[in-house]
């Protein structure tokens, strides 16, 4: 008889429970009922037609996916095989329904099952559970034609529909292992493996279990090894808000689930083993994630880091992949790739101890610029005031395109330009009690404040003394810096020097409070502060131009004694 783990039973019940109340109590994307077609994952005409056929059905998602698995297996005459019957028996709580399958759907090596599932689940559920499947191009790049030796094990501990497992080459599919907390994902991954290895008499070693639970490798699961030769995955991104795993991973203060999967995977990796993960870029740079960077540098050797320029469907976060070996090393030397560009990085012992994983090999000129800025540090933004823009929860009905009585202008991140808010195009009734999330009114109504774009490579900051409102693509900063006025703060943040420093230190497309708080600010004389403040006032009274940017940059460069050669380096880095 097939052993089904407690997690499998629990998660089937969870899938059939009503989660609508839970979703509506979450902020932002976690309550979104929107569905995003996973075109980045797969763009295949028959699967697109199949999705169109399915959207007309009023059926449970697990019944839809179960029926598609049966159709896929039946296409290859596998349903009568004992090993297939054995695998499918754990999903007999699902019902078979009639679905029209377009011709050509099951041809080729496309993961149609994964595409359909990703396209059917809501944005809210994907955000809550971190279910963002990796497209085949990225997986093929990471796998790089890898062939497993006989008996060599391979694990994807967050396998989804099995994309990594399908891309690896082996003569012994029994050595492929996949874990996922979602029983539907386990069903899809196992079905995909049964089809790929249809000439093998085996039961897929894909299990609906939680990799981060300490009871994973108990005595009832003797068919799962304690350690593996290869561990590749795209783990769920996001914090363990419910603190389910916190006690198991005290070294991960950030509560980031992806970081916990890294720790657990390195513990489960055989000597000489290989580890390759796809992760959000924030883990490389944000101070909060210094915990996992230190763990990586202390418990493994980095072989390679790949930076990607595209994104997952419905996600604005940049991502990277990192390849590690289980060998520990006091010195770290690795390759970083961005597209066709490759560079060698050698970390100093100081960087390693500090938890720095660099992706840019800084030159002597870069070192000089950074040292000049940090040597001049007199203050930072840690004791300033911060506020998030408004999350209405219903922009369609609450944000208006036409001005009307009682409505006032509201600005988005796109309308934040250096020193100015531009092109009023939206209006809103300021009723905080009706919004999903809203900062205290005192922040919006401050006599002076800065508003900065949330999605940007470096700070883009507008000055506001009109008590304007902003949506959550723009955030509020009311700076409190020794010897620096609010307009001068805006001048520094909008300068090429600070853009350069920010982009070197933080490789993310989001301008985060924690990053801004690490920027060094100098002590200004009254005349220096007045000069910068007057320059901002002059810029505000006219259209912003390259001439203004040069005048601003020259004033900021003079504060830090940045040489012409260093200025050229700055321009080359942020162009």
Per residue in 310-367, pLDDT tens?
765 555 578 899 999 998 887 899 999 988 889 999 998 888 888 989 888 888 999 9
Poorest-pLDDT segment among 59-73, 487-501, 507-521, 547-561: 507-521
| In the predicted structure, residue 21 carries a pLDDT above the cut 60 | no
pLDDT value of residue 5 = 52
Task: Read off the DSSP letter of residue 235.
Answer: P
Which pLDDT does position 388 carry in this prediction?
97
Whether the pLDDT of residue 26 is over 70: the answer is: no
Rounded average pLDDT over 404-428:
95
What's the CA gap between 352 and 355, in Å, rounded? 5
pTM: 0.75
What is the pLDDT averaged over residues 38-52? Answer: 89
Confidence of residue 233 (pLDDT cuts 50, 70, 90): very high
Average pLDDT over residues 172-177: 96
CA distance 455 to 316: 8
183-186 long-range Cβ contacts below 8 angstroms, 24+ apart: 183/8, 183/11, 183/12, 183/15, 183/62, 183/91, 183/208, 184/15, 184/61, 184/62, 184/65, 184/117, 185/117, 185/131, 185/159, 185/160, 185/161, 186/8, 186/159
Position 310 scores a pLDDT of: 72
> Mean pLDDT lowest for which of 4-8, 292-296, 449-453, 466-470?
4-8
Instruction: Tell me what percent of the residues of the chain surpass a pLDDT of 90.
Output: 73
| pLDDT on residue 33 | 62
**Angstrom distance (rounded) from CA 511 to CA 509:** 7
Mean pLDDT of 145-159: 95
Do residues 326 and 300 lie in contact, with contact meaning Cβ atoms separated by under 8 Å?
yes
Sheet with 205-207: list strands edge to edge: 205-207, 176-179, 154-156, 228-233, 269-280, 319-325, 301-307, 332-338, 341-347
What is the pLDDT at residue 15?
Answer: 57
pLDDT of residue 64: 97
- For the ranges 20-24, 92-96, 205-209, the lowest mean pLDDT is seen at 20-24
Return the pLDDT at 567: 97
Is 8 within 8 Å of 90 (Cβ atoms)?
A: yes
pLDDT higher than threshold 90 for residue 223: no
pLDDT for the residue numbered 18:
42
Residue 215 in this model has a pLDDT that exceeds 70: no
pLDDT at 423: 86
What number of CA atoms fall less than 13 Å from residue 499's CA on the CB side? 22
State pLDDT tens for residues 518-530: 999 999 999 999 9
Q: Is the pLDDT of residue 403 over 60?
A: yes
Average pLDDT over residues 421-435: 95
Q: What is the pLDDT of residue 12?
A: 58
Give the per-residue SS3 of 30-99. HHCCCCCCCCCCCCCHHHHHHHHHHCCCCCCHHHHHHHHHHHHHHHCCCCCCHHHHHHHHHHCCCCCCCC
What is the spatial distance between Cα 336 and Cα 430, in angstroms, rounded to a whole number?
47
pLDDT of residue 311: 62
Q: State the chain's mean pLDDT as an integer.
A: 89
Q: What is the pLDDT of residues 459-481, one digit of tens each?
A: 999 999 999 999 999 999 999 99
Among positive and negative, which fits the CA dihedral 65, 70, 71, 75? positive
E-strand ranges in 375-453 read 385-387, 399-400, 408-411, 416-417, 420-421, 427-428, 449-453
Average of pLDDT values for 272-285?
91
């Amino acid at each position: 008889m097939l052993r089904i783990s407690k997690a499998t039973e629990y998660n089937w019940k969870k899938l059939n429970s009503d989660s609508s109340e839970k979703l509506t109590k979450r902020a932002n994307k976690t309550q979104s009922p929107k569905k995003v077609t996973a075109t980045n994952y797969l763009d295949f005409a028959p699967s697109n037609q199949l999705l169109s056929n399915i959207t007309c059905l009023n059926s449970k998602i697990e019944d839809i996916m179960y029926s598609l698995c049966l159709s896929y297996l039946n296409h290859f005459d596998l349903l009568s095989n004992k090993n297939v019957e054995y695998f499918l028996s754990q999903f007999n709580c699902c019902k078979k329904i009639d679905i029209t399958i377009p011709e050509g759907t099951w041809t080729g090596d496309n993961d149609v099952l994964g595409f359909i599932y990703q396209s059917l689940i809501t944005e809210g559920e994907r955000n809550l559970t971190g279910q963002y499947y990796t497209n085949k191009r990225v997986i093929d790049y990471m796998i790089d034609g890898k062939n497993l030796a006989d008996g060599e094990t391979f694990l994807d501990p967050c396998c989804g529909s099995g994309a990594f497992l399908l891309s690896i080459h082996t003569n012994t599919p029994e050595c492929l292992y996949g874990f996922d907390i979602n029983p539907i994902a386990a069903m899809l991954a196992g079905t995909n493996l049964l089809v790929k290895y249809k000439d093998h008499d085996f039961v897929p070693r894909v299990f609906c279990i939680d990799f981060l639970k300490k009871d994973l490798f108990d005595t009832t699961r003797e068919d799962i090894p304690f350690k593996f030769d290869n561990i590749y995955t795209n783990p769920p991104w996001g914090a363990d808000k419910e603190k389910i795993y916190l006690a198991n991973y005290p070294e991960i203060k950030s509560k980031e689930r992806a970081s916990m999967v890294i720790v657990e995977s390195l513990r489960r990796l055989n000597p000489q083993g290989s580890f390759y993960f796809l992760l959000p870029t924030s883990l490389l740079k944000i101070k909060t994630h210094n915990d996992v960077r230190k763990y990586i540098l202390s418990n493994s050797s980095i072989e390679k880091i790949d930076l990607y320029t595209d994104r997952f469907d419905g996600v604005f976060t940049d991502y990277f992949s990192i390849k590690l070996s289980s060998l520990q090393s006091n010195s770290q030397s690795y390759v970083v790739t961005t597209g066709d560009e490759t560079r060698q990085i050698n970390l100093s012992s100081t960087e390693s101890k500090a938890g720095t994983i660099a992706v840019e090999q800084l030159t002597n000129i870069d070192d000089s610029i950074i040292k000049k800025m940090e040597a001049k540090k007199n203050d930072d933004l840690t004791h300033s005031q911060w506020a998030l823009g408004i999350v209405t929860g219903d922009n369609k009905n609450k944000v208006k395109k036409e001005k009307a009585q009682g409505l006032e202008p509201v600005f988005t991140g796109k309308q934040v330009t250096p020193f100015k808010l531009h092109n009023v195009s939206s209006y809103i009734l300021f009723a905080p009690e009706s919004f999903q999330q809203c900062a205290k009114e005192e922040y919006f109504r401050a006599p002076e404040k800065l508003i900065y774009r949330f999605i940007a490579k470096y700070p883009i900051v507008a000055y506001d003394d009109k008590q304007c409102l902003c949506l959550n693509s723009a955030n509020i900063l009311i700076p409190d810096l020794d010897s620096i006025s609010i307009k001068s703060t805006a001048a520094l943040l909008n300068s090429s020097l600070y853009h350069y420093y920010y982009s070197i230190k933080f490789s993310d497309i989001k301008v985060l409070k924690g990053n801004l708080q690490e920027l060094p600010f100098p002590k200004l004389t009254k005349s220096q502060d007045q000069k910068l403040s007057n320059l901002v006032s002059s810029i505000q009274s006219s259209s912003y131009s390259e001439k203004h940017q040069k005048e601003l940059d020259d004033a900021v460069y003079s504060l830090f004694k940045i040489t012409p050669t260093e200025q050229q380096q700055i321009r080359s880095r942020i162009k």
